[in-house]
Amino acid sequence: MSIRIRIRRQEQNNHEHHANGTQKVLNALKKTAGIQSVNVYIAATMLAVFCKMNEENYMMKKQFLILLILSPFLSFGQTFIALDSSIASALRTHPQFQLSQQEVEQQKTLKKGSFNIENPSVGVEAPYGKKFEIGIQQNFQNPLVYFQQSKVGKQNVYLAEKGLSLTKSQLITEVRTAYLNLQFAETKAKQLFYQDSIFNNLYIASEKRFNAGEADLLEKISAEAKSKEVHNLYIQARADLLNSQLQLQILTGVTAKDIVTNQVLEKSNANFSALLFGDTSVFKTNPFIQYYQQNILVNKQNLRLQKTKLLPGLSIGYLNQVGSEQPQNFRFRYGVTIPLWFWTYNSQIKAASYQYKMANSQYAIAQKNINSGYQQALADYKKYFESLNYYETTGLKQADAIISTAMRSFESGNISYIIYMQSLNQAFEIKLSYLETVKNYNQSIIQINYFNGQ
């Protein structure tokens, strides 16, 4: 009986020891990360379970430790959003896309009025001075004018449709970029939170060593400075994360306050081998180029329209005769309209000609801008592709090796605390640089897809 009592007391003491340890670590987490209370409670529960596990459950403890580190970023109360649904939401709610759709409908409506006949002229006339009779007269432009106006209206509809395609392509590119920025902000915040926790714990340990007379003042100050520096970077990363969420919300119209991506930031798969040799044929599918090509056709057709207005028109009229004593009770009038004020028509033709030339110049400028942006995107793609090869084959492995080697050397007393901290900082900078390179690489792919009309 006494053995059982001692065992129970020992288990109770162990539980109290674990609870005290949990509370101490929690207090450190609160001071270090500044996370929300709900996540602190989640972390507390996970940490309590972690402390109660037996040493034999090594793999399970390892999994719980990973979850504990990432617990402030778990999606409790958050809204997952996928890239495809973000694009669909933006195309459904963004006012710029709605405006382009309305412009298409406007041009379709205007095209129906291409055959715009002038209003008839109604008047009274007394040919013999005895009685006024009502007469009506209708003027018509040359039939070729109406035919050309219909063609101009048709080309304007095509131009509005090209504008809609351009707006869609630009909006999709903006959403992809905003989504990528949110992915990067999430990953960077997690990485800095991990670093913040490590350097804060190192600072706490250094302060204890200093109070115990085992470390000098330089070690303590260095640890404190580095801890505060990393914590400041973490606070900035959290602010960038909130801003990235806001930018994606503005583009997509999503009303949820705390949105997170459902995809981890990773290297995008792309095959641009056929495009790396300066193939400019891809510009044919670019909506920006297609819009200005169509703009040339619109102005070319408008120039033809202005020229046809020099052709004579037709005039038809009808008038009742005065009195029954006249041999005919009605009469008709036929004639032509002659554009005598030719200087007006010449100025309109010249203006349309200049507009046509301007459209060609705008197209040439668009080609140069697209070609410049395309070449820049290809250069970025090549640059970051090679950089990623370095990180994937060498850089990340070296960072992990630096961390593990520095840890073993510091524990065995072969290196000083400052060297240990500098080694960790070097390894973490490599990991952050890798994340930045992944983001820039994916951004170059987004730009290339835009120039390809995808």
Q: What is the largest CA-CA distance in the chain?
A: 145
Residue 19 predicted with pLDDT over 70? no
pLDDT in tens, 56-105: 444 444 444 444 444 444 445 678 888 899 999 999 999 999 999 999 99
Q: Mean pLDDT check: name the lowest of 178-182, 233-237, 330-334, 378-382.
A: 330-334
Query: Whole-angstrom Cα distance, residue 271 to residue 267?
Result: 12
Helix (H, G, I), strand (E, B) or coil at 426: helix
Helix (H, G, I), strand (E, B) or coil at 438: helix
Residue 46 predicted with pLDDT over 60? no
pLDDT on residue 36 = 34
What is the phi-psi region of residue 328: left when phi exceeds 0, alpha when psi lies from -120 to 50, beta otherwise? beta
Residue 349 predicted with pLDDT over 60? yes
pLDDT on residue 330 = 63
pLDDT on residue 173 = 93
Q: Which amino acid is at 372?
A: S
pLDDT on residue 328 = 58
Residues 6+ positions from 72 with CB-CB distance below 8 Å: 33, 35, 36, 39, 43, 193
The model's confidence at residue 126, banded by pLDDT at 50, 70 and 90, is: low
Which tops the pLDDT comparison, 32 or 135? Answer: 135
Name the burial class of residue 111, with classes exposed (0-12), middle (13-18) and buried (19+) by CB atoms within 10 angstroms of its CB.
middle
Predicted TM-score (pTM) of the model is 0.77
pLDDT in tens, 385-407: 999 999 999 999 999 999 999 98
- Our CA dihedral for 125, 129, 133, 139, rounded to 10 degrees, sits at -20
Name the burial class of residue 446, with classes exposed (0-12), middle (13-18) and buried (19+) by CB atoms within 10 angstroms of its CB.
buried
Phi, psi of 76 (to 5 degrees): -75, 120
Q: Which residues pair with 334 in a beta bridge?
A: 316
Q: Domains (ranges, CATH) in the chain?
A: 1-74 (no CATH), 75-451 (1.20.1600.10)
Which tops the pLDDT comparison, 329 or 216? Answer: 216
Our measurement of the distance from residue 450's CA atom to the centroid of its chain's CA atoms, rounded to an integer in Å, reads: 12
pLDDT in tens, 192-226: 999 999 999 988 988 888 888 887 888 888 888 98
The model's confidence at residue 33, banded by pLDDT at 50, 70 and 90, is: very low
- CB environment 428-442: b (16+ within 10 A), e (fewer): bebbbebbebbbbbb
Average confidence (pLDDT) over 12-28: 43
pLDDT on residue 45 = 40
Average confidence (pLDDT) over 342-371: 90
pLDDT on residue 386 = 93
Mean pLDDT for all residues in the chain: 79
Query: Whole-angstrom Cα distance, residue 334 to residue 167?
Result: 51
